[in-house]
A and B are shown apart, each in its own frame.
Chain A
Amino acid sequence: MPNILSIPRITRRAWRVWYRNMVVFTRTWQVNFFPPLVEALLYLFAIGLGIGSYVKEIEGVPYVTFIAPAILAIAVMNSAFFECTYGSYVRMYYQKSFDAMIATPLSIEDVIAGELLWGATRSVIYVLIMLPVLAAFGVISLPLALLTIPLAFIGGLMFAGIAMCFTSLSPGIDTLNYPAFLFITPMALFSGTFFPLTLMPVFLQYIALALLPLTHLVAIMRMLTLPALSWTILLNFAWIAAVTAIFCLLSINLMRRRLIV
């Protein structure tokens, strides 16, 4: 009997589930492409230019340039997290789509893997839409900033895995509000996004580095968009890789435990 730490057997059929979600998404693309565009502009104007007119510079860079990578990182987090919590929950519980899928050669492992891949893809799409806006404002440095596109997939996969764990444990769709408000919202503010980590008390800095996934994603994003590369990027990557692997694996096993009885 597989347990919550087993290595799931995933086949290439997982991409069928990804494809199904992709088709539904692109069919309503006008609706789906609009939010990231608006979000990027809102952050840029309200925080970047609004607050930025007082702050001017942080760590020697213009404030709006400082927060540009944070805008990308938060978009990566939100799109994957909300897709794999509310989106997946609706497909699982209300639409019974997973039940319909596992009656075909797809296994539950394939289905959840497909959902995770799709969550990560949504992050990539968000970044793809936001990049031209940020480039137009001259707040990111090309071509190195293009590497944020593959990075969005890795970061998206991490948040998709974390989200799917919450989905697998949530008794109802309303209880998904807890991780959204108590985990995602504070993380968007305290992960070195709109002000540097070093402004916080030291122990909070350690907590952010140890426990907040967004901290590492913002750090890498910032190194790529400023650009300001440092060897610490390897530590950030290692942290993200480990957390992504653990949570993706855990989420698939937890979902199997929830759905296969």
Chain B
Amino acid sequence: MFWYEGETIPDTIEARDLKKAYGTTVAVDGIRFTVRKGEIFGFLGPNGAGKTTTMKMITCVSPRTSGSLNVLGMDPDKNPAEIKQRIGVVPQETNLDPDFTCFGNLFYYSTYFDIPKEAAALRADELLEFVQLKEKRDVAVEKLSGGMKRRLILARALVNNPDLLILDEPTIGLDPQARHLIWEKLRTLRMQGNTIVMTTHYLDEAERLCDRLVIMDNGKILVEGAPADLVREHIGHEIVEMDSSDEVVGCLTELKIPFEQTGDMIQIAATTDSAREIARTILERCKPEKMITRPASLEDVFLKLTGRTIRE
């Protein structure tokens, strides 16, 4: 299929009123989103927000309760095998095959896609090199470290040269080195034209990688947009932060500076220009014990929208 200039490129994923209920529990409650070709699209949200359930519906392993869903121009209910032939999946749980080596995991996984043996072997070696596991080629998977296992799962998701890559918490439990390596690989894949959908708990990860993202909570999408836009719209540019005490609270109230109190912290949202001004006033008048000014981040947006209550 060719798409000429002027023609619109069809969206890779299109969901409308997408809903998933388990009995009376509604895991995904009528969400709407579109993923465009060639972008990295993120799903953020606390535990139980419905991110993984959404991924399972996209990857055709969990049927939707209602609404419409279109993946690569097809309906997961009607053409699951055709869709799955063209997507790569990195699950949250490590489910490598313990009966095989690194190479074996990639090679035999390829057979499930009907990839001819010679091509599969070639591709497996190529991918081992891509995720820097070439020297572990013939090592049993249980001998790998956590980071190596995640890299091997990423390689496994690529055996069929997918048009769409779905990653559920790709860097969960990894050390900073391993995370950076995965990020680098994902950016390389995007440059090669892949469309990537990912869920993550790490907001810095989302901020660095995602072109656009949604924040979900209780099965609903709260906001959608580019990370920088979301921060600007919902928080501002800068945050002035200080330890909370009765004196400081009284002082700020007196100065009529709007602030937010969370636990033992006080936060004041500000623009780049006003931050310095506010900080100086507070320093002179309220004399807080400790105060910092820092750029606002996606984490501030996240906590503002989803609250600070711990989720199970």
Contact = CB atoms under 8 A, between A and B. Distances in A.
Interface of A: 11, 13, 16, 19-20, 23-24, 95-97, 99-107, 260-261
Nearest to A99: B95
Nearest to B100: A24
Given A23-B108, A24-B99, A105-B85, A100 B113 contact: no
A105 B81 contact: yes
B95 to A, nearest CB: 3
Nearest to A108: B61
Contacts of B91: 99-100, 103
B22 interface: yes
Contacts, number: 59
A20 B113 CA distance: 13
Given A97-B95, A101-B112, A103-B59, 8 more contacts: A100-B95, A100-B96, A100-B109, A102-B61, A105-B112, A106-B112, A107-B80, A260-B63
A156 B27 CA distance: 41
Contacts of B80: 107
15 contacts: A16-B111, A19-B111, A24-B100, A96-B94, A96-B95, A97-B97, A99-B61, A100-B91, A101-B112, A102-B61, A103-B59, A103-B91, A105-B85, A106-B112, A107-B81
A95 B95 contact: yes
A181 B251 CA distance: 76
A57 B80 CA distance: 60
A256 B99 CA distance: 24
Interface string B170-213: 00000000000000000000000000000000000000000000
Contacts of A102: 61
A104 B95 contact: no
B93 interface: yes
B97 A104 contact: no
Interface in B81-115: 81-82, 84-85, 89, 91, 93-100, 108-109, 111-114
A99 B81 contact: no
B274 interface: no
A70 B99 CA distance: 33
Contact of B108 (A20, A95, A106): A20
Contacts of A104: 84, 109, 112-113, 160
Contacts of A19: 111
B93 A96 contact: yes
Size category of the binding interface on chain B: 20 to 34
Contacts of A107: 80-81
Interface string B53-70: 000000101110000000
Dominant secondary structure of chain B at its interface with chain A:
loop
Contacts of B108: 20, 23
B61 A260 contact: yes
Contacts of A99: 61, 91, 93, 95
Nearest to B84: A105
Contacts of B109: 100, 104
Contacts of B81: 11, 13, 105-107
A20 B91 CA distance: 21
A260 B99 CA distance: 24
Contacts of B113: 104-105
A252 to B, nearest CB: 16
Contacts of B96: 100
A30 to B, nearest CB: 16
A104 to B, nearest CB: 4
A260 B62 contact: yes
A261 B22 contact: yes
Contact of B84 (A16, A103, A260): A103
B18 to A, nearest CB: 16
A100 B111 CA distance: 13
Contacts of A23: 108
A13 B62 contact: no
A102 to B, nearest CB: 5
B112 A13 contact: yes
Nearest to A101: B112
Contacts of A260: 61-63
